[in-house]
């Protein structure tokens, strides 16, 4: 297939535009899921086939042809996301998908697809016009030939026949020769197309075999995938169990660390208690001395209380004496006030007496 495609490309196919993309094909069974046709990004090119006057999209991955799609005016390239586009090929009975590295590459590919589709439409229209022209020329040549023969039989002399028929006969002869060459070329092209059709049929048979082999491989891969999924599920469960055990071990480590801290705290408290006990023992050794001193102090305290009571009695007597002295002092203040009042009266009288004496002295 690759050798035939290579001979076709070298025999008159010209590259128009080339890019790189990941190639996908629609799943033939589900018609929904995409199946990767390439393991990595491959070269995808637009080609113009001058011998067939057609446009194709071709992509080769190593020695495998993964895209050989002839573009027709009825095809449509659809953008399904920012970096993915697709088109349906009815001849190949599949849908191709391309994943690009950027949105700009997808946009450029879509624009080129539209340009090539328009070019394919123009090429088809020209082919139809050419076919119609050939058909019209063949019909006209069939109608004009009898009339020319009839005209030559009607005319009189041989000279008149030659002079009257020669220009039209030359035109018809050249036209017939041209039509013959075109018919021969059409026959040659038809044989070539039959050969290419046979080649395409053989290629299609090979592709069908490859597709069946791929389907068998897909079934095998599905079984392997299901086995891998089961093994993966088992491994996930095992991992979950190990994670749970690890979590329990971590929790146990945390508990052990907390217990270690608590043990250290208890050891510190025990040391403090032992120090307090030692201090109490030392204090217990001096308790008898303290008891003796306490008894001595108690005796002294009792003697002091006795003296205190005696002093309180004396204080009460002194308080009585103070009250008496205060009362006497109050009485003395009253008598002193009376004496001061009398003294003030006497002083006033003496002052008046002096004033009288001074008046008498002035009068004398």
| Domain spans in the chain, listed from the N-terminal domain onward | 17-128
Average pLDDT over residues 146-159: 41
Write the pLDDT tens digit of every residue in 288-341.
888 888 888 989 989 989 988 889 888 888 889 888 888 888 888 888 889 898
Write the pLDDT tens digit of every residue in 96-134.
999 999 999 999 999 999 999 998 888 888 877 776 776
Write the pLDDT tens digit of every residue in 181-209.
777 777 777 777 777 777 777 777 777 77
Q: For domain 17-128, which architecture applies?
A: Roll (2.30)
The CA distance from 105 to 99, in Å, is 10
- Give the strand pairing for 78-79 and 64-71: unpaired
Specify the pLDDT at position 161: 40
Write the pLDDT tens digit of every residue in 227-251.
878 888 888 888 888 888 888 888 9
Contacts of 155 (CB under 8 A, 6+ apart): 161, 164
Phi, psi of 157, deg, nearest 5: -90, 165
Where is pLDDT greater, at 197 or 352?
Answer: 352
* DSSP for residue 26: E
Could you tell me the pLDDT band of residue 136, with boundaries at 50, 70 and 90? low
Phi, psi of 102, deg, nearest 5: -150, 160
Average pLDDT over residues 72-79: 92
Contact 182, 130 (CB under 8 A): no
The CA distance from 310 to 307, in Å, is 5
Average pLDDT over residues 1-23: 65
The CA distance from 24 to 28, in Å, is 12
Q: Which of 128, 124, 147 minimizes the C-alpha distance to 136?
A: 128
Specify the pLDDT at position 14: 63
- Give the strand pairing for 54-61 and 13-26: unpaired
Specify the pLDDT at position 324: 87
What b/e string do you get for 329-351 counting C-beta neighbours within 10 Å, with b at 16 or more? Answer: eeeeeeeeeeeeeeeeeeeeeee
- List the structure tokens of 130: 């050419």
């Amino acid at each position: 297939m690759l050798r035939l495609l290579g001979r076709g490309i070298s025999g008159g196919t010209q590259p128009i535009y080339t890019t790189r993309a990941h190639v996908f094909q629609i799943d033939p069974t589900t018609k929904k899921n995409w199946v990767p046709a390439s393991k990595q990004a491959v070269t995808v090119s637009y080609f113009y086939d001058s011998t067939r006057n057609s446009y194709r999209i071709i992509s080769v991955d190593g020695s495998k042809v993964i895209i050989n799609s002839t573009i027709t005016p009825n095809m449509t390239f659809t953008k399904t996301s920012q970096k993915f586009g697709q088109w349906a090929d009815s001849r190949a009975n599949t849908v191709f998908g391309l994943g690009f590295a950027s949105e700009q590459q997808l946009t450029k590919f879509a624009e080129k697809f539209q340009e090539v589709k328009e070019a394919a439409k123009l090429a088809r229209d020209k082919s139809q016009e050419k076919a119609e022209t050939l058909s019209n020329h063949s019909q006209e040549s069939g109608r004009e030939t009898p009339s020319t023969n009839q005209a030559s039989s009607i005319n009189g002399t041989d000279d008149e026949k030659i002079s009257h028929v020669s220009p039209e006969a030359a035109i018809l002869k050249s036209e017939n020769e041209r039509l013959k060459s075109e018919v021969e070329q059409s026959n040659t092209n038809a044989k070539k197309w039959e050969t290419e059709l046979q080649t395409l049929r053989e290629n299609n048979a090979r592709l069908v075999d490859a597709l069946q082999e791929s389907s068998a491989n897909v079934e095998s891969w599905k079984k392997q995938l299901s086995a891998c999924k089961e093994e993966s599920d088992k491994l996930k469960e095992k991992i979950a169990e190990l994670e749970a055990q690890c979590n329990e071990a971590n929790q146990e480590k945390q508990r052990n660390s907390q217990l270690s801290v608590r043990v250290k705290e208890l050891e510190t408290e025990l040391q403090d208690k032992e120090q307090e006990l030692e201090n109490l023992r030392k204090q217990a050794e001096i308790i008898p001395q303290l008891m003796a001193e306490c008894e001595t102090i108690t005796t002294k305290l009792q003697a002091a209380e006795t003296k205190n009571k005696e002093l309180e009695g004396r204080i009460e007597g002194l308080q009585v004496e103070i009250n008496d002295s205060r009362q006497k002092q109050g009485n003395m203040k009253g008598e002193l006030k009376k004496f001061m009042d009398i003294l003030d009266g006497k002083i006033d009288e003496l002052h008046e007496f002096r004033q009288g004496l001074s008046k008498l002295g002035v009068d004398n």
